[in-house]
Structure 1
């Protein structure tokens, strides 16, 4: 039986500022003054709804929806709780599993679209983020960063070398991700420890940058609640990331944010969200909301609240039609803090002249039984060597492959 809970709560906080409220168009019935001379009041209707988990049966897989001319199959199954995917030039597919603390190698040696080799090649506690550079696999856990040599002959790995051991604690968002930028630097996403709070560690809710060996680490951008998926546009080299919105602001707030990430920018979390909206639960210290909002960068595009964006990858393969070149794919894990579920899909972000213009569904249908059940919460994305798109689900342990028919 599928259980779901519905409840309403009211938040009344003494805080304030003298002037002005944000022009919120959301579920909040709010009064948010600029300083603490007046009380802040917010009444929010909140939901918890987890669709029940069902199996990834052949019938369920066959009803998945993709654009005309594409097909979906299971690339691998029985992979534990697969999270992030990375693929090297030799076609070795690496998948992290934070729950088991492993990195698994998958190989399709006969090119039939299904992995026929599956073996654990590294054991690192809470392994999550993966990136490949210069014949080495980089693995990021909550507090540590490792690198290891890839044996190109068979995909096995050398003994992991510890590069960093003092990354911030995880809290609510322990799922670190990393990637190498066009400048050869290593970029690391460090999520917030909470839904919404001032962070005592300035490295939480940030994008960090360092040399490939972990040295000279610094904060590149801040005010990012949890930007798991990010990358650089292949033509413009501009840096884009999809940030998780704040929970408990209602069914339709806070929307997920697609941000152009620039050096030194502040994206507002936890005080400002969207196009300058005030978060009633947290007030910036020593300044007003309005003053803080002037220093923050608004998102370029927004997406349906509580969809939970995960991995992001720009398409540069040769298998998909030309119109897909340099567009991005984002895995939407799916909601729990909403009365009706959203997400549970892969979306395509259209880019025109280097700028994102809209989102379209690309892979959907994981919600079944009148949207009361699901058979996949999606996490990782990678373009395989043959140009197909690989997608991980950490609930049923499946890696899906989307390819041209």
Structure 2
């Protein structure tokens, strides 16, 4: 099997020349980056030929996840309150008809079966939608789940719903690797990790039952450090997630890892999440070059040994380190060409911790899917959010893609939590 080389620096070059770049074969990792850009000027984005982008809204606040109703209403969840509100509504996608409600910040938002679901960092709420799609009582939401773990770090409660009345909630681990002293040089990992009892996984709750607590839910999967992007795939009837890989390999273990190792090895993982799955955190991380789950150094790992990690569940695809996947969407529309049908779009928020290597990410990628697994290499679908190659390399970018949603016409919506923009991407076939 060919060893994978993760040349993220060529992404910067690809952006500078606006051309195809970085194609490298891998039968397991599928880490090819393919760019087929259209001309610039697509609301500042670089897209494949035949696609066009328009800016739907600007400066809404720190927009995290978004949802679009069947009539075109856009719901945007804010990470921080703006004018005392945490949910922005664009009536039929029109920024001129904007309103807001909800007195809590957070990330998760979804529309399902006549309800709008939204999360704070410690609870999940729902609002009844009227026949005209209006939120019936915006000041008095029903509480689905309360008292969810919130210890500051990795506390975004992303949500997704299946077709059987269940809601799934990410409860990220408030830790990097479950050390006795988090992120401290020389501190060993706790064995067993107590965090896994209340975080570090995905919990399942009854979406129709009110006033549940975390203890009323089912720990659907464990060993997941943090999965901001989760999505139910109705075509396969399965849950999927994007895990944020670990940090600090070189800073805490410079005898085992170089700066470059830290920047490139601990993969971002695309997970098919079966009930009862265990993906190994904090004892294991996925090494993108070796294409293996490796024992974490806090638990005696030497950067090579699989040991106990050989038995844990593996990702169905892995991406270069620290790109921060924050949204996952399976495309079910008919507007885009057939190759996109049931494929996965992933929004990468972009890195902050690859120095002295260039920062990377800040794009939306597409993964073709076949029978529930990746059916080809991943490719950059929407780029240009950073603003320039120099801004991307430094991490001081214009926009950070965070949320994804599909409109009733099959268009793709992308949100940004840096300046608060929302873009609409459509296909015109030209």
User: What is the TM-score normalised by the length of structure 2?
Assistant: 0.74
Residue in 2 aligned with 1:350? Answer: 368
Alignment of 1:180-199 (within 5 A): 180-197=161-178, 198-199=193-194
C-alpha change, 1:342 and 1:143, in structure 2 (3 Å) is same
Deviation string for 1:174-199 (max 9, x for gaps)? 11111111332111111110222134
Residue in 2 aligned with 1:269? Answer: 281
Q: Distance in 2 between matches of 1:390 and 1:342?
A: 22
Bigger drift between 214-223 and 260-269 goes to 214-223
Displacement after TM superposition at 1:318 (Å) = 1.9
Runs (5+) with no aligned partner, structure 1: 1-23, 28-58
Residue in 1 aligned with 2:385? Answer: 366
Displacement after TM superposition at 1:136 (Å) = 1.1
Residue in 1 aligned with 2:270? Answer: 258
Q: Equivalent residue of 1:84, what SS? A: strand
Deviation string for 1:82-121 (max 9, x for gaps)? 1111122222211110210511111237xxxx5331110x
Q: Equivalent residue of 2:321, what SS? A: coil
Q: Distance in 2 between matches of 1:352 and 1:73?
A: 30
Displacement after TM superposition at 1:253 (Å) = 2.2
Do the aligned residues in 1 keep the contact of 2:414 with 2:424 (CA within 8 Å)?
A: yes
Displacement after TM superposition at 1:404 (Å) = 1.2
**1:311 lines up with 2:327 in the alignment:** yes
C-alpha change, 1:155 and 1:268, in structure 2 (3 Å) is same
Do the aligned residues in 2 keep the contact of 1:26 with 1:252 (CA within 8 Å)?
A: no
C-alpha change, 1:283 and 1:185, in structure 2 (3 Å) is farther
Q: Equivalent residue of 1:86, what SS? A: strand
Candidates 357, 374, 389, aligned match of 2:412: 389
Candidates 396, 399, 403, aligned match of 2:422: 399
Do the aligned residues in 2 keep the contact of 1:81 with 1:97 (CA within 8 Å)?
A: yes
**Which structure dedicates a bigger proportion of its chain to strand?**
1
Alignment of 1:263-302 (within 5 A): 263-274=275-286, 275-282=292-299, 292-302=308-318
Alignment of 1:5-404 (within 5 A): 62-100=43-81, 102-108=86-92, 115-120=95-100, 122-153=101-132, 155-158=134-137, 159-197=140-178, 198-200=193-195, 202-212=197-207, 213=209, 215=212, 216-249=216-249, 250-274=262-286, 275-282=292-299, 292-338=308-354, 339-356=357-374, 357-372=376-391, 373-404=396-427
Bigger drift between 321-330 and 168-177 goes to 168-177
Aligned alpha-carbon RMSD (Å): 2.4
Q: Report the number of matched residues.
A: 342
Q: Distance in 2 between matches of 1:200 and 1:404?
A: 45
User: What is the TM-score normalised by the length of structure 1?
Assistant: 0.79
Runs (5+) with no aligned partner, structure 2: 7-39, 179-192, 250-261, 287-291
Displacement after TM superposition at 1:123 (Å) = 1.6
